[in-house]
Copies of this chain bind each other. A is one copy, B any other.
Amino acid sequence: MNCLEKRILEEGVVIGDDILKVDGFLNHRIDTVLLRQIGEDFYTLFKEKNINKILTVEASGIAIACYTADQFKVPVVFAKKGENRNIGKDVYTAEVFSFTKGRTYAVSVSKLYLGPDDRVLIIDDFLAEGNAVLGLKSIVEQAGGTVEGVGIAITKTFQNGEKKLLDAGLDVRSLAPIESMAGGKIVFRQ
């Protein structure tokens, strides 16, 4: 069991059978000591991949992406949500449907910060239905770059996202893959 899984068992709060709240150390209050460990764990998983850029989406992916970038010694780019953001008109963009919010939103990256030479590691905090990562994959491909891997902190493997990303040919790895939270009991995949 790694640091993140241990922390989830200690402090994660399960609501119903499928919502996990980790606001105490990841999504609202941030424990940067844990985040550095997460960054090291992602580096261990993907260090063979010759990655030269980390891509995530605002807001809760940013901190994890930064500590991962520290290990790879490469820059982070975070995609912006919504249409009217102050990053200019020359952007790559994708539509993402959020099941949680029941609506579609746009994610965008300026064309200045992604290109055909980029070998990208996509990082995010949660994987459930996988649509945000598919949106980021589309953006990388629009730029002519390649997605070398997808590093997820917490994956709900009982939802569809992981399978969708694997089916799309992505190398997806999760630090805390959760098979079940039924009855409030968290079971990690071995």
Contact = CB atoms under 8 A, between A and B. Distances in A.
Given A32-B75, A76-B29, A66 B63 contact: yes
- Residue in A31, A62, A77 whose Cβ sees the most chain B Cβ within 10 Å: A62
Contacts of A86: 21, 100
Interface string A38-81: 00000000000000000000110011011101100001111010
A23 B66 CA distance: 15
A87 B23 CA distance: 8
Contacts of A109: 28
Given A59-B58, A63-B63, A31 B75 contact: yes
Size bracket of the A interface: 20 to 34
A110 interface: yes
B112 A23 contact: yes
24 contacts: A21-B86, A23-B87, A23-B110, A23-B112, A23-B113, A24-B112, A28-B80, A28-B109, A28-B110, A28-B113, A29-B76, A29-B112, A30-B69, A32-B66, A32-B69, A32-B70, A32-B75, A58-B58, A59-B78, A62-B63, A63-B76, A66-B66, A66-B67, A86-B100
